Amino acid sequence: MSDHRRQARSRPPFAAVVDGLRRRPPAPERDRRARLRAPDGRVFVEIDPDLIPDAAVDLVAGGASVAWDSCGCRGYCGIEWFDADDTAVLVRSGPPVFVPASRKVPHAAGRLSAWHTDDGQVLVLASGEVRWGGLLS
């Protein structure tokens, strides 16, 4: 018997190969959600990239932490994390305000987003041109 025939007989039939591929579980996918690490080591995952100001103040009133990414770079330049006293000031001051574009800042872009940890802790991240309670400006 030729080597070619011997190799052909040792391989499974094509239908068996296809069936094996269909039964294989899907390959794991990379989790592409945005993540932030707090100074205390907690890891937050973004859950709402476009939070409205009223919802932001409601979350903070309910116990959410607050952080500010003043330049909007997602933490490459650093993020300012506020303590409980600061968040109380933010709640009392009402909803944050997005700073409109001007000659000084023609590309003004403020953004609010909601994040959470695996154990349910919530973070409101203000990014870029956002004013809130005199602490973010």
Judged against a pLDDT cut of 90, whether residue 34 lies above it is answered with: no
Which residue did the predictor score with more confidence, 11 or 124?
A: 124
% of the chain residues with pLDDT over 90:
51
Q: Strand, coil or helix: what is 97? A: strand
DSSP secondary structure letter of residue 136: B
17-56 burial, b for 16+ CB within 10 Å, e for fewer?
eeeeeeeeeeeeeeeeeeebebeeebebebeeeebebeeb
pLDDT value of residue 90: 96
pLDDT of residue 8: 55
Q: Please provide the average confidence, as pLDDT, over all residues in the chain.
A: 84
pLDDT tens for 54-92 read 999 999 999 999 999 988 777 777 899 999 999 999 999
From residue 134, give the alpha-carbon distance in Å to each of 1, 107, 123: 87, 22, 19
Give the position of tokens 């039939």: 13
Q: Which two tokens stand for residue 12?
A: 């499974």
Distance (Å, whole) CA 77 – CA 114: 20
pLDDT value of position 103: 65
In angstroms, the CA 65 to CA 71 distance is: 19
136 falls in which pLDDT band (50, 70, 90)?
A: confident
Q: What count of other Cβ atoms lies within 10 Å of the Cβ of residue 137? A: 12
Q: Quote the pLDDT of residue 20.
A: 76
Q: List phi, psi (to 5°) of 79.
A: -125, 135
| Mean pLDDT computed over 110-117 | 94
